[in-house]
Structure formats: C-alpha cells, structure tokens
Structure 1
Amino acid sequence: MPQSYIKKILEARVYDVAIESPVDPAPLLSKRLGNQVLLKREDLQPVFSFKLRGAYNKMMKLSREELDRGVVAASAGNHAQGLALAAMRLGVKATIVMPKTTPQIKVNAVRARGGKVVLQGDTYDEASAYAQKLVAEKGMVYVHPYDDPDVIAGQGTVGMEILRQVTGPLDAVFVPVGGGGLAAGVAAYIKYVRPEVKVIAVEPEDAACLKLAMEKQRRAKLSEVGLFADGVAVAQIGKETFRVLRKTIDEVVTASTDEICAAIKDIFDDTRSIAEPAGALALAGLKKYVEREGCEGKTLLAIDSGANTNFDRLRYISERTEIGEQREAILSVTIPEQAGSFKKFCAALGKRNITEFNYRYSDDRDAQIFVGVAVAEGGADRQELVASLREQDYPVLDMTDNEMAKLHIRHMVGGHRPSAVASELLYRFEFPERPGALMNFLTKLGNRWNITLFHYRNHGAAYGRVLVGLEAQRSERKEIGQFLEQLAYPYHEESDNEAYSLFLS
C-alpha cells in the first residue's frame, strides 16, 4: 500500500547532496490566472533537477559490498547527473551508459561529476540493455531512474517539503510524469498527510504513458514517444510507480508542445530562470486545469522539476511560445496583387501587432501572404480577427493549429523570382520595433515600386528586420537609394548577395 512509503520518505537520506528547494510565488502568472500559483523550485538543485534525491537515497541503502562493486545506470539526462554526483560524494565508481545521440553538454556534465560515460546504441532501450549486460558480467548494482522503492522514497521528500513549506490552503499540486518516480513519491506522502489536497499528474500529449495505463487499468506501452520533453519521454509507466499512482493521483492532465513552451516563458517571466521542457510540464498542466475548471482564488502548486535544457533549443521554444499562449494567430490570406495592397491589409488588421509577414510574387492577379498577428490570450480574439477579415472580403485560412505550417512552411515561403518579374532589387531594412512599426514602414515606402518579396518576423529585439524585393531595374538604383535615404531607416542593398542569387533570384 502507498502508506508504506511514509516511513521510507521520512527516513530518506537526501540532504547530504540535495537542498530543501524553495517554494516561490509566481505573482505575474497568479494575477493573470486569478489564483495563487506557487512553484517548487527543484531546478535549483546542484544538478538542476530533483533526480539526485532518489539516486542518493538508493545508494545509501546499499551495503558496503554492493557499493564496492560499483553502480551503473542507463540515462541520457538528469538521472545520470544525479547518480554521478551521489557516487562522487560516496567515493563509489559510477558507470553511466548513454545513447550515442546524447547531447555533448550532458555527457560532459556527467564526466565533470566523476561518472564514467559509456556511449552505446542510438536509443535509451539499447543503452539500458547494455547496462544490464554490465550488471550480469561485472556484478555492478543497477540504480533504476524511477521504478525502485528507495528511488521513489527519495523523490517523495519533495512532497514532504511542500507540506512543510505551504502550511495554509493548498488546493492542488501538479507533478510531471515520465516513469512516475517523482509523482509516486509526492502523491503517496501528500495523500497520506493531507488527503484533501488534489495531486494531479501532468504528461506531454505525445508521451502520455500514465494516462494510457489509467484508461486501460494496466500498464501498456506507447507505440511512439515524443522527445521534446526528453526528461519525461517514457513509453511505459513503471511497475511499482503505477501501483502507487493508480491509488493516489486524482487525475492525469496532458499538455501540448506549444503549451509547454508557453509555460517555460511563464516561469522565466516570474523567476528569470529557464526551465527545461519537462521542468515546465507541471505548470502547463496547471494552466490547462485552471482554464478547464474556471477556478478562482485557489492555491495551486506546480513542481518545476529541472533546468537541464540545451541552449540551442531556446530558439524553437521562443518561436512556439506565443502560439502556446494563444497570443498569436497564423493566417494565410489572399490579397490583390497591386500596389498598396499590403498597406490596406495592415489597416484592416486594426491596432493588432503584426508578428510575421512572408510574401513572394507569384502572378499579377492574387498575392498569397503568410502572416502572424498578435491576439489576446484565448481563442475568441483570433476568431474575431478571422471573421473581420472575411467580412472585408479577404479569403483567410487559419493555420494556427497546423503543425506543418508552424514547423516548416513559415520558413519556406518564397522561392525564386518568377519569370513575370523582369528585374528585382533586394533591400534589407531595420526599424525601431514598436506597435505600428510595420504599418509606418509600408506607409513611408508608398506605392512607388511594386513589392515582389517581403519577409518580416518580430523576434522581440529592439529593431525589426525586413527583407524587401522591389520590381526595378538596376539603372534605378540611384533613384531608389535617394528615396530610401528619406525613409530614415538603416538599409543595405542585398541584390548581389550570394544567398539571394542561389535561393531567391
């Protein structure tokens, strides 16, 4: 029974390596949601994740003879770093089997903490099989990342701390789930001590192994697992964790990639820290729960479980955030192919801020533009925008929920100059980024030259950057230059740029 974990959690040895992480308020998000939102900051642990709690507690339960044989684990992330640090503190040899596809930053982090890294296979399953081979051949002790009672008890100290730190009203605790170790430990403790507090598990939509198990009332394996939230990318919930979770959690909520990205931004706005996707997962579930239930005035806590993300992923996260918050509409709109059409269309959008504008001349009848527009949070404003444009006789296709459009098409709109455009000059502009800046730019540019290419994306920088193609002869360069000087925007002619000649001209 889950009650058997209470004594294990109370006796867990974690504070030799772990800190009692703070519970921080999220004032900006609390005001926006109309509820008191709290964050349990496990991202502040020495390895930037809760995982060292379970790894260390497990090792403290091993005999001296077992420790002398060395420990081994298969992991591509946080468990590897936690085990390496725990082993270093205890003077124990730790071997971590990692897939060859593991990012170098994580390999280096394990080595920096004294772990021996063995790169084996391309997937976690292949690495895990090799780790079991080491257990059989060399007698090493395998430390499971989640499906072990001592590991679960170590993670359960997070729940113990939450109830010690939040002594007043606490309506629900949201916990991320991969294999289920953290959720099982937290749920077992909270439900025993304060059964009125809801414990809600949160999974990615594309890696919802607990949700599948709860629906089938047995453990089942997902045929495919999404890897964006790699810290919880598990195909099958643990055997022991499921035994506990099926009796302790109140429900499972799933979150999309865009919703997770939006939660990463929310955490940054309130704490100035960057959570990894799995770290922000619980908050994404909290927000979804509030929207579904319409609750107000409640005290809700989400566990920020980690901050081990690769820097190169931030571009993708930033790109998807506004859509995840439903603050950006992605539209395909047909406008007349004639001078002044861009300006007229911008006027039709009203005071909404344009976040993206992609266009390439196709024929002399219609222009197909790919446009991003800032809208109010929620779907109502987006629907009103689409309806308003259609009332003004603009053919509109809402592609906000179109994965291919968001991932690929937005970066591919364009192509080579069509034969109908005899000659084209290319210019790159910068202008101060503020609401209405794009409209002001188009107004100043006027109708003097036909626009044959247009690319603009608001990246939140101080200056907006626009690439514009003008239907003009090279003999008009001087005249265009004189005109552009009057615009007072910094510009560069790119007509001779190699990238232009290869991909656009």
Structure 2
Amino acid sequence: MNAYRVPGDHDPLPTAAAVLRRAETARVYEVAHHTALEPAPLLSTRIGASVLLKREDQQPVFSFKLRGAYNRMAQLSVAERARGVIAASAGNHAQGVALAASRLGIHATIVMPITAPQVKVDAVRRFGGAFAEVVLAGESYSDAQAEAQRLREALGATFVHPFDDLDVIAGQATVGLEILAQHAEPLHAVFVPVGGGGLIAGVASVIKARRPDVRVIGVQARDADSMARALDAGSRVSLDEVGLFADGTAVKQVGALTFSLCQQYVDEILRVDTDAICAAIRDIYQDTRSIPEPSGALALAGLKQYVAQRGPCDGALAAVVSGANMNFDRLRFVAERAEVGEQREAVFAVTIPEQRGSFRRFCAALGQHAITEFNYRIGDAQAAHIFVGVQTARSGEREALADAFRANDFGVLDLTDDELAKLHLRHMIGGRSPLARDERLYRFDFPERPGALARFLDRMHPDWNISLFHYRNHGADYGRILVGIQVPASEHALLRQFLASLSYPYVDESDNPAYRLLLCA
C-alpha cells in the first residue's frame, strides 16, 4: 500500500482495472505512434543506474497528449461531432486536439493562456488547419480553462478535458502499456511528469494492474506542485500561483479523477527545481541529440534525484520524456543553468585586496579549476569584489574552493544556490567608476584551455591595474573576454608591446560609444 492511500478507505471509482480495460481498447494508434524506450548509456554510466527514456517527444505533435485527446474525440457521437469541441491547454493538449480535429473532421475551439510558448501556439494552428480556432486568454492553464468553460456554454460544444476525463486518462495510459511490453526485464520504477495528473493516473493504473511490484513515481516542479500538495493533504488543493518555466505542467489544481487514481496507485511524488530540470534537458540531449521542453525533462530530473538519494536500484529506471515543444529562445537560459543543476559549476562572490598581485593569488587559489565566468568592475580603492563561476566535477569541491579562498584571506560568499545572483546580479556588475582613470578597454579572444587567464596576468606590466573584467564560457573553442586596463598615456607604447606579446586576437574598444556612455569614467 502506498503512502497516499488512507487506511480503511474503500477504493473509489475508477479502479486500475477499469482504466486498464479502456486502455487496451483505446483508439490512439489511429493517429499516434508506438514510441521508443531507449537506453541512456552516458547518463546510466555516470549515475550508476540503468536509465531508459520513453520517447513521447517522437509523437507527431512532439508530445504524449495526442493519445488522450484523440481517444476522447474518437468516442464522440455524430451529434457531438457536429456541435464541435472546445479545449483549454498550455500547449501540448491543444496540439493533440488540433490534430485530432483535423483527422476526424471536427471543429475545435482551443483556449490557450497568453503565456503559452509561441512555438506551441503556431503548432496548434498548423496541426488543426481549418478545423482549429485558437483563443488566447489568461496567464495559466486554470485561467484558460475558465474561459473555455464560458465559451462551452455559449457554443454548446463538448469540452475535451486535458486530464480529468476517463477516456483521456485511458489514452495516456497506453504509454504505460508500451513500457511494460518493451521492457520485460526487472523494472524498479517508472518516473512520470505531473501537471493535472492525466498521464501519471493512466500510467500508474495500468502498471499497478499488470506489474504491481514496479514503483510509479511522479515528478513536479517545486513551484507547480499541486499534486504533491494534494496527496500530502489528502484532498485537492488550489495553488494561488504556479511557476511557468515548466509550462506544460503548470496547473493550479489537479483533477478529481486523476487525484483519486494517484491516491491509490502512485508510490511517491518528487519535487525538482529549475536547475535540475535544465540539467536533465542537457542529459537527454547528450544521449539522444534531441531537446525536450522543460516539462519533458521533469521525469528524468526526478529520476536523477531519486538515485542520488537512494543509491543503486534493483532494476531499470524508466523516465517519460513527455514533450519537445521547446521555444528556441529558452535554450540560452537552459544552457546557463544546466551547469549549476548538474553541480558542475559553483558560483562565488570573492573579495580580494585592491592591490598588485591579488589577481595572481586569486588564480593560484583556483588551482586547476577552469573559470566559467568572471565579472569584475573596480569600485573600491581597498577591495575588489569579484563574481566568479568555477567548473566543478564532484561533490565537495564547492566547499574546498571556498576554503582555498579563505586560506588566502579572501572574503567569500557561496552564491551557487542564490536565485537573485544567478538570474540578475551576475549581469549587473559594472557601471561607471571614478576610480577607473586612464582606462583602456579591449576585447580578447582567449583559447579555451587551462592557464590562458594566468598567462595573460603573468605577462601584464606590474604597474598596470585591471579595472574591468568580463568573461563567460559558452562552450566554444575561444572565450570572448572584455578587459579594462589602467595605463597612463605615457605608457601606451609599452601597452602595445604587451598586447603584441600575448598572441591573442584583440579589438581596442576604448572609443566604443556604448562604453563611453555606460562604463567610461
């Protein structure tokens, strides 16, 4: 009996057996595919567990949602089809409804929140063609659902719920049936992303009906954890706000049917943060060369957290990669945060004396660690405040680095888990400084290899001071670095000799109008 089952309760309907019967006759394969259950060898080796990825991102709409939407709409009567359907969705259910409408010849009105990624809005219109009309309303799925219910009453259309409908749940449950058919060997657990609960309710029901020994574990974003809170409370709750990074699972309140099924058949719900999701996106890319959306990587983020906390497991671990409708402009953020999410980057604010040789001592304290980011602007005559990111490879290195800084009498503040620093402050270090007299500004291309920064500092004239430094490793062969150097006009000839000795390509930006306006003293 799982942790959410209330002792002495009678099993509410529907049961796992009822969901299984419907799933076995679901009409999903008239439009959806049997998707692959692929091993993730790189990740498996790294975390010491056999990891399998259920590739629902391979569906025609790049999401599992097509299964439930089509199965529900295929059950409509002739009269219901004539009146059309209406749906509310953050994006993936909308695409499923749109494609189903086009295949079945049913008019669909689809309400989406204004926060839905444009890639999903465009896809809905493309899949639905003349049969789909998109209405944008509200900031979350719950807002869109309220507008859809209002329109349903006005239009007399059938509402196709994204999760709280038995035919939808049965359609999604076919994901679980496929996993069991594809992996007859020992299977410890299946990890499933959770929004409103349709996918996990279906998957958990059929797995517990067929193989009750397999654990079913849901995964939610920490800032959109309505199912976890409901199961903890023993009744459905409504969140005031939900985070929108994992927009596909940003649901304020789970369904009544899905909640009932999850109470009975789900073993555990895990919560993961944004950094962990970003790291899981990268893991999936490294093993498959595909890029899931944030909600699509939720399950794998939970799987990794489970292994880290529990250790080796007696069987394979399967994670449902639920969708790949990723906005391209999110990739920059994902790449930025994946390093921290994988604990491959530690971020510090380090205070060193504003005196000659301090930078060299700082680099010596770093040892062989590669610098991933370095932001500095002179602002105090006595102390230099540096924002630095450092590449790490294993647990405990953050603490060791902090100790190394302190051993050099440097003040240190660990910002690795500081959301304000990671989101905003790292981009705001700088501005004008009255101390930056005689400053010359240069852009350099540094080879991305250990020792490049130390070589630069070692060749620098001992009487010159670095007044500005900005660098971020973006994974290219060459790093682009901006450096301010305080050099009296009488020594500009020596400066030119120094620059030539470095053998690094550079551009003199001292007369750049943006620099003169925003940074120049």
TM-score w.r.t. length of structure 2: 0.94
Q: Does 1:492 align with 2:504?
A: no
Once the two structures are superposed, the pairs formed by residues 40-189 of structure 1 within 5 Å of their partners are: 40-113=54-127, 114=129, 115-189=132-206
Q: Does 1:336 align with 2:353?
A: yes
What amino acid sits opposite 2:486 in the alignment? E
Shift, 1:424, TM fit: 1.1
Shift, 1:406, TM fit: 0.6
Q: Which residue in the other structure is 1:450 paired with?
A: 465
Match among 428, 437, 456 for residue 412 of structure 1: 428
Q: Which residue in the other structure is 1:468 paired with?
A: 483
How far apart, CA to CA, are the structure 1 residues paired with 2:311 and 2:363?
Answer: 35
What amino acid sits opposite 1:453 in the alignment? L
SS at 1:3's partner residue? helix
Unmatched runs of 5 consecutive residues or more in structure 2? 1-14
Equivalent pair of 1:425/1:474 in contact (CA under 8 Å): no
Once the two structures are superposed, the pairs formed by residues 281-430 of structure 1 within 5 Å of their partners are: 281-296=298-313, 298-378=315-395, 380-417=396-433, 419-430=434-445
SS at 1:225's partner residue? coil
Deviations 1:199-231 (A, max 9, x none): 001111111111101111000111221111000
SS at 1:207's partner residue? coil
SS at 1:12's partner residue? coil
Deviations 1:60-93 (A, max 9, x none): 1111110111111112310111100011011111
> What CA RMSD, in Å, does the superposition of the two structures yield over aligned residues?
1.4
What amino acid sits opposite 2:51 in the alignment? V
How far apart, CA to CA, are the structure 2 residues paired with 1:328 and 1:432?
Answer: 20
Point out the more displaced range, 228-237 or 337-346. 337-346
What amino acid sits opposite 1:497 in the alignment? N
Equivalent pair of 1:431/1:437 in contact (CA under 8 Å): yes
How far apart, CA to CA, are the structure 2 residues paired with 1:39 and 1:18?
Answer: 18
Shift, 1:297, TM fit: 5.9
How far apart, CA to CA, are the structure 2 residues paired with 1:471 and 1:121?
Answer: 53
Point out the more displaced range, 63-72 or 48-57. 63-72
Identity of matched residues, %: 59
Equivalent pair of 2:142/2:252 in contact (CA under 8 Å): no
Equivalent pair of 2:16/2:208 in contact (CA under 8 Å): no
SS at 1:283's partner residue? helix
Unmatched runs of 5 consecutive residues or more in structure 1? none
Shift, 1:45, TM fit: 0.5
Match among 250, 271, 282 for residue 254 of structure 1: 271
Q: Structure 1 residues 148, 258: CA separation in 2 closer, same or farther (over 3 Å shift)?
A: same
SS at 1:339's partner residue? coil
Shift, 1:478, TM fit: 4.2
Equivalent pair of 1:14/1:57 in contact (CA under 8 Å): yes
Point out the more displaced range, 435-444 or 195-204. 435-444
Point out the more displaced range, 116-125 or 29-38. 116-125
Q: Which residue in the other structure is 2:5 paired with?
A: none
What amino acid sits opposite 2:410 in the alignment? Y
How far apart, CA to CA, are the structure 2 residues paired with 1:486 and 1:61?
Answer: 76
Shift, 1:123, TM fit: 4.2
Q: Structure 1 residues 252, 103: CA separation in 2 closer, same or farther (over 3 Å shift)?
A: closer
Q: Which residue in the other structure is 1:245 paired with?
A: 262
How far apart, CA to CA, are the structure 2 residues paired with 1:48 and 1:442?
Answer: 50
Deviations 1:70-121 (A, max 9, x none): 1111123101111000110111111111233433322221111122112334
Q: Which residue in the other structure is 2:11 paired with?
A: none
SS at 1:80's partner residue? helix
Equivalent pair of 2:375/2:470 in contact (CA under 8 Å): yes
SS at 2:29's partner residue? coil
SS at 1:445's partner residue? coil
SS at 1:168's partner residue? coil
